[in-house]
Structure 1
Amino acid sequence: MSIKYAVITPHPPLIIPDIGGRYLGEVTSTVESMVTLGKKIKEISPETFIVVSPHCELFLKYFGVVTQERIEGDFREFGAPMVKLEFEIDTTLTQRIIDSARESDLPVREIQDVYLDHGAMVPLYYLTRELDYKPRLVLISFSLLPLERIYSFGKVIDSVAEENVVFVASGDMSHRLLPGAPNGYDPMGKIFDQAVVEIVKSGNLKGLLDLDPELVERAGECGLRSLVMLAGVMDGKKVRTRVLSYEGPFGVGYLVGEVESIDSDNLESYILNLAKEAVETYVKGKRVITPQNIPEELKRRAGVFVTIKKHGELRGCIGTIQGTQPNIAYEIV
């Protein structure tokens, strides 16, 4: 039992079309990245999403876990009551998480009679829109306990979760990027966001625990604890990370990314995703990517052929019979 795939998502309601309206043009990168994640989720077809939301009921010294059988919500608070989401809670997995956390001396409070908050609804709106079935949900709120405890809670989640589960770290980055931003302006907000983005790109997610507490405080963020829990979920695994986009047009940082375990049985997935990302990035932005988190198996030199097919039909092929780049990963790109 182990989680293989996780996503990093922001949760501004304005990226919902019925809410954002004319402002959607200001967050195009975020919206496109969320749509991309939705398509990836369709390929994975998970049975359950585990979502950690900063806007679920929050406790100072406890982790909150929703234990009611069903949960629903809408965006009436943001002027769109017609946009509704409803899920069945995966009560079996929820109880396993609670029991294992308590056995590990991690304090948990069960949450009942609540509605979906926008921290969960915004990512779930995009992650489930391509699915033709209803996945189940585990909904968690982080606590204000030390980051090391939150990391440990992530490890507990992974120890009891099945492979067909996707972990969703919902959170916005600094709320202080620009003058007039929701939480005021602080130049350290940009520095914090840059640091987080670089940590995610590097794949060394445990590095989140080493961020300067003063920097975190001045950033005015609501996403670090979600990311730390994700880091705990991926503890001890070789991972491939990908930042799909980052922007902050309204003074709040929106980071979209994915984290995938690339243990030896998942090498094929790494190769396919690297090729897809290389083509996608160049077509959209004329930019050549740099491979990250390269598996040992791809660090040697060799010839590579990459083919593109549409509906099973060959549309393009390019490659080399001998290595021309430092290693296979760079050859693929």
Structure 2
Amino acid sequence: MTLISAYAVPHPPLAVPAVGRGAEKGIPETMAAYYRVGAEIVQAQPDTIVLVSPHTPALSGAFRLIDGHSEWMSLASFGARQPALAMDYDQELIDLISDKAQAAGIPTHISAENMDLDSRVDHGSFVPLYFIAQAEWAASAAEHQSPSVSDSIFADRPTSGVKQQPSADFREWQLTPRLVRLSFSGLSPQTHHNYGRAIRDAIAASGKRVVFIASGDLSHRLKADSPYGLAPRGEAFDRDLTAALGAGDFARLLFYDEDLLAEVAECGLRSFNILGGVLADTAFEAELLSYEGTYGVGYAIAAFRNPRPAGADDSAAAAATTDTAKTSESADATGQIRNENKVRSSNCGAADGCQPAPPGHSSGENIPWLSGDPYVALAKHTVESYIRNGRKPKLTPVELAALPREITAGKAGAFVTIHKHGQLRGCIGTIQPSYGTLAEEIIGNAVAAGTRDPRFRPISLEELPALEYSVDVLRPPEPITDPSELDIKRYGVIVSRGLRRGLLLPNLDGISSIEQQVDIARQKAGIDRSEPVQLERFEVVRHQNDK
């Protein structure tokens, strides 16, 4: 397909220095991530950017696409007439998106935006486009090495077909890619997702190189002194949503309670639902680049790179990969579930750290890292390889043949837990298998436990000798109707209410009763003891680290 990459981004006007006037320094992670995204997009050289914004004029019963040949845009309504952006619309793709949507029974409306420049307030579009323009200007300035533009952000507006020449006299920029601007609507979350699928089909049919951007802020009620006040569940909502974005788990975004959404005052969820449809049935690498709530509004930036049809190979070789669309989850020993970034694949292929094993090799005697329990050895080898080399280990055919067949051919959910001097240092796992083999499950979760557990900083090279590992291989969970069906030594527990979900592994030190086990799982999920819940139990096979 011709989708190059996709991004979820916020749209704080203060991120544009001419508006922020120093306030942008209060969101350094957001700014750094935004500059990175802008540079990535410019380097990818897309033909068209498709952008959905909460602040594009919308309709309640249809999805609006902004029409026209060209557009000028600034943040004049925020006190900054410059920088200003000029852009050309991709009329062909606009029409194609509308046609694909209507063929799927989704109503659309194509119309021009009838406002003068000073009245344009779609900062949801302007802010992400500004960082793309800034990256274009920086690349052009570097190419020309012109000292006269060192204090200027934008160059003069070139005529069509003329090479863009930086100038210190103007603060305007003509974007190179064409643009498609979309709104969301008052229709259901599932309809927004389906609209995203229609957009995906239109992009594929266009034959163009396209970047998709979903603009949206998270909760606007993170602090008592924010313009909207404090929402008790605002922070928890942002945690859940950023975890989903970081995992590329868009299915969970379709089922938020309307009362919760009204309470937290978000503005990006429908954009992200459309994004989920655009990425449906594809494999991709998801990464949460930043999250900040400095000013009482949640700003998250996530990248979704290398999108490819399910079944396509990462390296264009023989191993097929597919996005399983399962939720990868992390939990500490007391069971708080969090989504984690995963790249899913349908088999143990070279691109995923494995190579097919030939027959006739089964001994691990000549494999230095493969000693003791093979599950634990694989987890340890993975973390140490990743910390030392910055990449997952590439298992050779001999190494694969030396591992038990249930690791290289079986599938199961698994948790990798890391301790340092007896204290938890990281724990991430999956309840259901998210990879094609248990080997990949352990490799993926070991990397995540060592570098992406949101409660800890990434493991350093100096820490490696002090670490101890364990691997829990989960059997499929089964629903139960009463806590009496639990056994704290034998069964772990999953407690669920709507989107809130807490997990507790079995046979943990300090857990002495079923009631305590369930209560801790409730606490981790943020579920009050008075609320009804669904219970599931599961068994694990625990592989302890040799001491």
TM-score bracket for the superposition, by shorter chain length: 0.7 to 0.9
Residue by residue over 1:60-86, the C-alpha shift from the partner in whole angstroms, topping out at 9 and shown as x without a partner, is: 111110111111111111111121011
Match of 1:67 in 2: 67
Aligned pairs for 1:35-114 (under 5 A) are 35-112=35-112, 113-114=114-115
The residue identity in structure 2 corresponding to 1:267 is D
CA drift of 1:212 comes to 2.6
Closer/same/farther in 2, CA of residues 236 and 176 from structure 1, 3 Å limit? same
Q: Is the 8 A contact 2:50 2:213 kept in 1?
A: yes
CA drift of 1:317 comes to 9.8
Closer/same/farther in 2, CA of residues 192 and 320 from structure 1, 3 Å limit? closer
1:252 aligns with 2:257: no
Distance across 2 between alignment mates of 1:18 and 1:49 = 24
Q: Name the stretch that deviates more: 185-194 or 206-215.
A: 206-215
CA drift of 1:134 comes to 1.1
1:158 to 183, 187, 200: 200
Distance across 2 between alignment mates of 1:267 and 1:158 = 20
Aligned pairs for 1:191-202 (under 5 A) are 191-202=236-247
Match of 1:23 in 2: 23
Distance across 2 between alignment mates of 1:190 and 1:205 = 19
Q: Name the stretch that deviates more: 184-193 or 112-121.
A: 112-121
Match of 2:125 in 1: 120
Residue by residue over 1:241-271, the C-alpha shift from the partner in whole angstroms, topping out at 9 and shown as x without a partner, is: 11000011111000111112255656259xx
1:188 aligns with 2:224: no
Q: Secondary structure at the residue paired with 1:86? A: strand
Closer/same/farther in 2, CA of residues 74 and 266 from structure 1, 3 Å limit? farther
Closer/same/farther in 2, CA of residues 320 and 30 from structure 1, 3 Å limit? closer
2:187 to 139, 145, 168: 145
Match of 2:134 in 1: 129
1:243 aligns with 2:288: yes
Q: Secondary structure at the residue paired with 1:238? A: strand
Match of 1:3 in 2: 3
1:33 aligns with 2:83: no
Q: Secondary structure at the residue paired with 1:129? A: helix
Closer/same/farther in 2, CA of residues 212 and 232 from structure 1, 3 Å limit? same
Q: Report the TM-score, using the length of structure 1 for normalisation.
A: 0.82
CA drift of 1:322 comes to 6.7
Residue by residue over 1:96-132, the C-alpha shift from the partner in whole angstroms, topping out at 9 and shown as x without a partner, is: 1111212222111222134662110000111232235
Task: Flag structure 2 segments of 5+ consecutive residues without an equivalent.
Answer: 141-174, 317-339, 355-377, 400-438, 452-547
Relative to its length, the structure with more helix (as a share) is 1
Match of 2:251 in 1: 206
Q: How many residues align?
A: 305
Match of 2:422 in 1: none
Match of 2:261 in 1: 216
The residue identity in structure 2 corresponding to 1:71 is E
Q: Secondary structure at the residue paired with 1:126? A: helix
Q: Secondary structure at the residue paired with 1:232? A: helix
The residue identity in structure 2 corresponding to 1:159 is D
Closer/same/farther in 2, CA of residues 217 and 328 from structure 1, 3 Å limit? closer
Q: Is the 8 A contact 2:220 2:266 kept in 1?
A: yes
Distance across 2 between alignment mates of 1:248 and 1:74 = 25
Closer/same/farther in 2, CA of residues 176 and 305 from structure 1, 3 Å limit? closer
Distance across 2 between alignment mates of 1:208 and 1:319 = 30
Match of 1:312 in 2: none
Closer/same/farther in 2, CA of residues 152 and 32 from structure 1, 3 Å limit? same
Q: Secondary structure at the residue paired with 1:130? A: helix
Distance across 2 between alignment mates of 1:266 and 1:68 = 39
Match of 1:226 in 2: 271
Q: Is the 8 A contact 2:47 2:208 kept in 1?
A: no
Aligned pairs for 1:271-282 (under 5 A) are none
Residue by residue over 1:183-241, the C-alpha shift from the partner in whole angstroms, topping out at 9 and shown as x without a partner, is: 22111111111111111122221211122332222110100000000000011112211
Distance across 2 between alignment mates of 1:291 and 1:256 = 14
Closer/same/farther in 2, CA of residues 328 and 10 from structure 1, 3 Å limit? closer
Report the identity percentage: 28
Q: Secondary structure at the residue paired with 1:292? A: coil
Q: Name the stretch that deviates more: 58-67 or 87-96.
A: 58-67
Distance across 2 between alignment mates of 1:259 and 1:148 = 21
Distance across 1 between alignment mates of 2:35 and 2:50 = 19
Residue by residue over 1:121-147, the C-alpha shift from the partner in whole angstroms, topping out at 9 and shown as x without a partner, is: 000111232235611000000001100
Q: Is the 8 A contact 2:10 2:300 kept in 1?
A: yes
Q: Name the stretch that deviates more: 45-54 or 157-166.
A: 157-166
Q: Is the 8 A contact 1:291 1:329 kept in 2?
A: no
Match of 2:342 in 1: 292
CA drift of 1:294 comes to 4.5
Residue by residue over 1:279-301, the C-alpha shift from the partner in whole angstroms, topping out at 9 and shown as x without a partner, is: xxxxxxxxxxx862244432547
Q: Is the 8 A contact 2:222 2:235 kept in 1?
A: yes
Task: Flag structure 1 segments of 5+ consecutive residues without an equivalent.
Answer: 270-289, 307-315
Q: Is the 8 A contact 2:194 2:274 kept in 1?
A: yes
Closer/same/farther in 2, CA of residues 211 and 322 from structure 1, 3 Å limit? same
The residue identity in structure 2 corresponding to 1:147 is P
CA drift of 1:57 comes to 0.5
Q: Is the 8 A contact 2:290 2:301 kept in 1?
A: yes
The residue identity in structure 2 corresponding to 1:77 is S
Q: Name the stretch that deviates more: 236-245 or 135-144.
A: 236-245
Distance across 2 between alignment mates of 1:331 and 1:203 = 17
